[in-house]
Structure 1
Amino acid sequence: MEIQSGVSTSNSNTRRGYDPQSQTYQAYDEKELATNGVSGAVYSNFGTPRNTLVTKMFSQSETEKRFVSFYSNVAYTYNSKYTLNGSIRVDQSNLYGSDPSVQFKPIWSVGVAWNLKRESFMDQVDFLNRLDFRFSYGLGGNSPKPGKGGPYNLLNAKASTMFAGLGIGYDIMYPANDKIHWERTRTINGGIDVAIFNNRITASIDVYHKLTTELLATKPTDQTLGWESFYTNFGDMKNQGFEVSLRTKNIFTRNFSWSTVLTMTNNRNKVLKLNLDGAMTAGKKVYMDYIEGYAGNSLFAYRWAGLSEEGNPQVYNAEGEIISDYQDESLTEDTVKFMGVTQPKWYGALTNNFSYKGFDFSFMLVYNFGHKMRRDVNNFWYGRLARNVSKKFLDRWREPGDEKYTDVPKYVSKTVENKTKSRDITFYELADINVLDASYVKLRDITLSYSLPKSLCDKLFMDRITLRAQASNLFLIAANNDGIDPEYHHYRSGLRGTKYGPSWSFGLTINFK
């Protein structure tokens, strides 16, 4: 049994008006700046002609998690051959809804294992050192996030000009949901562990099937209820795949050894049910990553039809007709094309270790295959230039006829001209021509070390002295030709993150006697 309670609090203060050069402070009217703001700013916020102070001067938060847990584990092995184990856990927590029907839901698992090598009929199989079969079945889950379940609405105090003369206003952060409960996952797992040729080759293979019901996520809802979305259980999903781990001792002599470790994982999933409100449209589907009948983390895109003679983006509808109006009724959900998933289908690592007398050398390659990402496209289409822009801006449409040579839409000077019945930039930004293969192989690290001879260490009254040099992220082989490192790229939005180059480190380890 376990009883646990934890409380975390945070406070933040923001003050302005201090000049670090003169070390002086000048008072200012925060209420005036938050209500009326200033006009004529060089760079406006939110695209408005008047800037207001939006940062809170002071904020405070408190999160409390409480658990009462009952759990038990049992394991029994007979004759060093047959093993049976089981576990069960029951939780009561303030993370779940208060309705009694969602409390005290147990999670459990049972497993069996068979050490086949210890059977008498395997005694004559000399090359086999180990052969184990494993099978397990169980029910697990994830708990809701703190504050997302309960019988009451969680409110957020808000000062706004909308409430002028009425005092402090409140909006609903999280609506009441007293029936929110565990996200439950039923898992079937089978595995084999094998070792042969005096353990020169060892391997483990696991195959699994997971069925997750009552998925926890933020669900869009009817805004007339008073909120745009709420956190709840609203879907089912399955995952299946396998994991392989292989280790080999390729060469093993007195002075030299070489070993290899390979890991490989394959995963495929599918959303079986998703309880969403409202009809699905092309404009919704192209932004969503979980849609019933498709894999989780799916990526959808418009079918690109090129630029118009005016330099505006066009797409095909389901009938193959060219559309430029985002309000066209023929832009149904079938207009959007499934491009793949943003989660790698295959991933793992390959490590090689070499040892010669006092020298040790190793390197590790990591790989991710079978997934997609959006290209980082130009995102400056209108208005005044007030920031750095992509070099792709130079490839934009400028005059009639350019549509034959470029897919980058034209720039317009006025904001009101950017989204019209004949122009919707998202047709280009979210088009299939801007979806790339995100597969890559990277040299994660390479290490060289040298341990001084024991005779020398003894003279220095040391047990061991080792010098080490390590380098990380030395090279990348990527499937895309845009110079994108997928590891530092947001697959769904197409935004590049901060890319870190190679790193080097040197170390000295001394063990005293």
Structure 2
Amino acid sequence: FNYNGIYGFQSPTKLPETLNAFEQASAINHQLKYIGVPANDPRYYAADELDYFRNNSFSWVDALWRNPYTTQHNVDVSGGSQNVKYFLGSSYNYSTGSFDNIDFKKFNLRGNLDVNLSRNIKISLDLNTDTRNTSGPSWDVNNLRYEDLYKAIAFRSAMVPPYINGEPVGNFVEWHPGSVLNLEAGYNRRRWTGLNAQAAINYTVPFVKGLSARASYNRYNRDIYQKNFNLPYNMTLFNLTGTNNHIIGTDPVGVRPRAAQEFLNSRYENIWRYQVNAQINYKRNFGRHGIDALAVYEQAEDYSTNFNAQRNEFISPVLDQYSGGSPVNSVANGSEFENGRLSYVGVLSYNYAQKYMVEGSFRYDGSAIFAPENRWGLFPALALGWRISAEPFFEKFKFISDLKLRASVGILGQDNVDPYQYIQIYQPTNGAVFGTPTTGVEQGVLANPAITWEESKTYNLGLDSRFWNDKMTLKLDVFRREAYNILGPPTETLPNTLGIPVGDQNYRAVNSKGFEIELGYSATSRSKNGLSFNARANFGYATNEVIRTNEAENIRSYLRQTGANTGRIFGYIATGVIRTQDELSKLPAGYTILGVAPQLGMLNYKDIRGVTSDEPDGRITVDDREVIGQYNSPPINYGLTLGTTWKSLSVDILLQGFAGSFAMLPTAGRDIQARVEESSYRFWADSWSPENPNGKYPGYRVTGFRTRFDESTMFLVNNSFLRLKNINISYSLPKQTFQRIGLTNVRVFFTGSNLFMIYSKNDIYDPEMNNIQSYPMMKNFSFGLNVGL
């Protein structure tokens, strides 16, 4: 009997900083002044209002964010006899979200039974079932991912308080996240049930030494039901104070309804799949010769069906059933999908005295998503190994206990694309004939009967070694991968007049190469305390090159993908903010920046080329874009793992880092929200203005209150970092402290992840996030107890 309990909580590694109320009000004033609005215009924030916001700034994140926590309990029982062994386990998990009324519950039950029917026949049964329930507020149709809701909260204006006297504030806002989270806007619930069962039989052939067979059947079934009930709600309007009525007072003066669509939407989905495997294995040694052969038959199919429906305009917010909604404009949809694969696998290995090793293998896969004539793919592989340390001439190198050289080449296939593109699809569509709505059929994606497997050929050369009585280890791998027949739509080489969407074609080719090295050390003290220590450092580098891709023949050289690596970032090379009239006067006559005459406070760029020439043309156009970031994913990864054990205490630490990648701030990061409805990132407080001529960031253009700046080196961030990724601490209590009550072991432990940055080039947001607006990266702290009987 074993019990394992965990309690954990999370907190953000780094939340985005936004303008406070005073900074935002000042930004609006700068915008108005910049576009020439008269000083007596009531849109300006007066001195008394600026003084108020200097001391009163409201954080919607502080008001609504809740650090999530989780609890998990696992209980399992195992036992049996020599011929019958069983295992039965269950677990329960409860987790909260980062906001009120968001939670997740999961219950899991699993079991295993192994029975020896005879000396040569063994059967096993495995069963795993789980139920999951997720609940939260109604935010979007069938949407239980609250990233967009988080973004709306993170960038709410600091000049608008979320609540006044407990009432949701409706001034200057169209909707209220707090009311959504309080379920005033309805709910969204999902129930998931799953069953995974496997039966297997193993047979050891008694009359052929080393020969065995195995057959297994696996069945997976999943049902998902989701219900989304969306309701309108009310917000409270308060009086406005201050010289220009920009301060929200405390006296209620009315109600502002959130006229959201009233609907009930539900969705049901069923997925089932099975897999049958039959294999024969022969493994035997003949003196110094070893043979291992394997033949496998694999068959798999999967099927899914889903149905969803919606009704609107309910007679009562408490009647969350379809009978309470209007049949007018009701919706019902559904679809089905099926797929299958058949595979034959063979592996043959030979070794001589564990010194010389060779292994050949193949996969012959058939995928139903391709046309019959292109359905099958053959994917062979060959691997060689030489244990150099077993050679007589190597005996003089006593400090090297093991040294092995590896080499391999193999082909893999990939069919992870939209299925059945070889069939011409016709799909229903809605339209109108002489003003009368009608339903018809239209041609879908243009069929491509020639579509088939993507393939990649990988070459690998490796070395494994151990030194000084196995205290040190070294592992080195160098690889080259040639991916070809990569599937993708040929949109760049087709005319815009084609008039029909085109599916994927096998055309693209990309080569990649790199290496990985790992160095380890371990040592154990000879003292009775049993102190041991281990360390492992790794470093890897990988890059790629586009060999062939769909791109126009007349594309300009700096935009050409062929011959370059994937993941390049294009943008303008920023030369700085135009700060003074003297800088502005020195610009050439007729000079424009993306079609706009330069002005003070504008961001200027490097003039690289013209529309038709590769020489500067005296103005900034789209042709002046350049590669400003070579990689959007890190080509370099490295890490260090440290561990130590002393008596019953063990500590393990992982440091992880990446280098060489860049990211462009998304559109919202390059915006100045000079308006009351929403805020901007805090770094915009250091924008150019006549009062702040040395500001790092550009000022406001005359194009409006919402100013967007193009992708450039000004907004390019370096995502190189090194962080303490994980730490695990565990302690096993001495047995004499609990044996008298029948326990066999008691262990307590702590686990932490993403605890802190040791080094980061990105000072705006956590570099492991997809972008600055993604849901925050979280620190995790878990405390656990393990008890055995």
Q: What TM-score range do you get, normalising by the shorter chain?
A: 0.7 to 0.9
Q: Which residue of 2 aligns with 1:267?
A: 542
Q: In 1, distance between residues paired with 2:726 and 2:673? A: 44
How far residue 401 of structure 1 moved from its aligned partner, in angstroms, is 9.8
Q: What do residues 402-452 of structure 1 show as CA deviations (whole Å, max 9, x unaligned)?
A: 69864254263489xx8xxxxxx4xx3311221121111111121211111
Change (3 A) 1:237 1:162: farther
Change (3 A) 1:414 1:338: closer
Describe how 1:38-117 pairs up with structure 2 within 5 A.
57-98=331-372, 100=373, 102-117=374-389
Q: Which residue of 2 aligns with 1:466?
A: 747
Instruction: With the length of structure 2 as denominator, give the TM-score of the two structures.
Output: 0.53
Change (3 A) 1:172 1:476: farther
Describe how 1:298-313 pairs up with structure 2 within 5 A.
298-305=568-575, 306=577, 308-309=598-599
Q: Which residue of 2 aligns with 1:35?
A: none
Q: Which residue of 2 aligns with 1:407?
A: 698
AA matched with 1:473: N
Q: 1:11 aligns with which of 296, 307, 313?
A: 307
Change (3 A) 1:71 1:351: same
Q: In 2, distance between residues paired with 1:105 and 1:3? A: 15
CA contact (8 A) 1:84 1:113 kept: yes
Q: What do residues 152-173 of structure 1 show as CA deviations (whole Å, max 9, x unaligned)?
A: 1x34423245895373244555
Q: What do residues 289-338 of structure 1 show as CA deviations (whole Å, max 9, x unaligned)?
A: x92121111212122355621765554242344535xxx5xx43x74234
CA contact (8 A) 1:242 1:266 kept: yes
How far residue 487 of structure 1 moved from its aligned partner, in angstroms, is 0.7
How far residue 468 of structure 1 moved from its aligned partner, in angstroms, is 0.7
Q: In 2, distance between residues paired with 1:465 and 1:168? A: 68
1:455 counterpart SS class: helix
CA contact (8 A) 1:463 1:511 kept: yes
Q: In 2, distance between residues paired with 1:278 and 1:159? A: 38
Q: Which residue of 2 aligns with 1:439?
A: 720
Change (3 A) 1:170 1:264: farther
Q: What do residues 65-118 of structure 1 show as CA deviations (whole Å, max 9, x unaligned)?
A: 2222222111111222111111112222222245x2x34331110111111222
CA contact (8 A) 2:547 2:563 kept: yes
Q: Which residue of 2 aligns with 1:125?
A: 397
CA contact (8 A) 1:395 1:408 kept: no
CA contact (8 A) 1:317 1:323 kept: no
Change (3 A) 1:447 1:2: closer
2:564 counterpart SS class: coil
Larger RCO of the pair (alpha carbons < 8 Å, separation 6+): 2
Q: What do residues 372-393 of structure 1 show as CA deviations (whole Å, max 9, x unaligned)?
A: 1113554546898644443455
Change (3 A) 1:259 1:279: same
Q: 2:654 aligns with which of 358, 364, 374?
A: 364
1:348 counterpart SS class: strand
Q: In 1, distance between residues paired with 2:653 and 2:549? A: 44
CA contact (8 A) 1:143 1:183 kept: yes
CA contact (8 A) 2:480 2:513 kept: yes
1:323 counterpart SS class: coil
Whether 2:418 is the aligned partner of 1:168: answer: no
Q: Which residue of 2 aligns with 1:211?
A: 482
Whether 2:497 is the aligned partner of 1:224: answer: yes
Q: In 2, distance between residues paired with 1:323 and 1:403? A: 25
1:105 counterpart SS class: strand
Q: In 2, distance between residues paired with 1:229 and 1:414? A: 40
Whether 2:732 is the aligned partner of 1:454: answer: no
How far residue 194 of structure 1 moved from its aligned partner, in angstroms, is 0.3
Q: Percent identity?
A: 20
Describe how 1:380-391 pairs up with structure 2 within 5 A.
380=671, 386-391=677-682
Over the residues paired in the alignment, what is the CA RMSD in angstroms? 3.3
AA matched with 1:94: A
Q: In 2, distance between residues paired with 1:292 and 1:90? A: 32
1:473 counterpart SS class: strand
AA matched with 1:292: T
Q: In 1, distance between residues paired with 2:743 and 2:386? A: 47
2:436 counterpart SS class: coil
Q: In 1, distance between residues paired with 2:693 and 2:336? A: 57
Q: In 2, distance between residues paired with 1:363 and 1:401? A: 46
Change (3 A) 1:17 1:311: farther
Whether 2:574 is the aligned partner of 1:297: answer: no
How far residue 187 of structure 1 moved from its aligned partner, in angstroms, is 1.1
Q: In 2, distance between residues paired with 1:356 and 1:452? A: 13
Q: Which residue of 1 aligns with 2:637?
A: 347
Instruction: With the length of structure 1 as denominator, give the TM-score of the two structures.
Output: 0.80
CA contact (8 A) 1:63 1:146 kept: no
Change (3 A) 1:489 1:105: closer
Change (3 A) 1:19 1:268: farther
Q: In 2, distance between residues paired with 1:379 and 1:241? A: 35
Q: In 1, distance between residues paired with 2:679 and 2:479? A: 48
2:377 counterpart SS class: coil
AA matched with 2:495: D
Q: Which residue of 1 aligns with 2:788?
A: 511
1:258 counterpart SS class: strand
CA contact (8 A) 1:70 1:89 kept: yes
CA contact (8 A) 2:367 2:415 kept: no
Q: In 1, distance between residues paired with 2:600 and 2:325? A: 52
- 5+ residue gaps, structure 2, are 1-296, 579-597, 610-614
Q: In 1, distance between residues paired with 2:488 and 2:693? A: 45
AA matched with 1:183: E
AA matched with 2:735: K
AA matched with 1:90: Y
How far residue 465 of structure 1 moved from its aligned partner, in angstroms, is 1.1
Q: Which residue of 2 aligns with 1:242?
A: 515
2:777 counterpart SS class: coil
Q: What do residues 184-226 of structure 1 show as CA deviations (whole Å, max 9, x unaligned)?
A: 1111111111011111111211111111111223442433222
Q: In 2, distance between residues paired with 1:313 and 1:228? A: 39
Q: In 1, distance between residues paired with 2:381 and 2:650? A: 42
AA matched with 2:701: K
How far residue 137 of structure 1 moved from its aligned partner, in angstroms, is 1.1
Q: 2:761 aligns with which of 459, 462, 480?
A: 480
CA contact (8 A) 1:144 1:216 kept: no
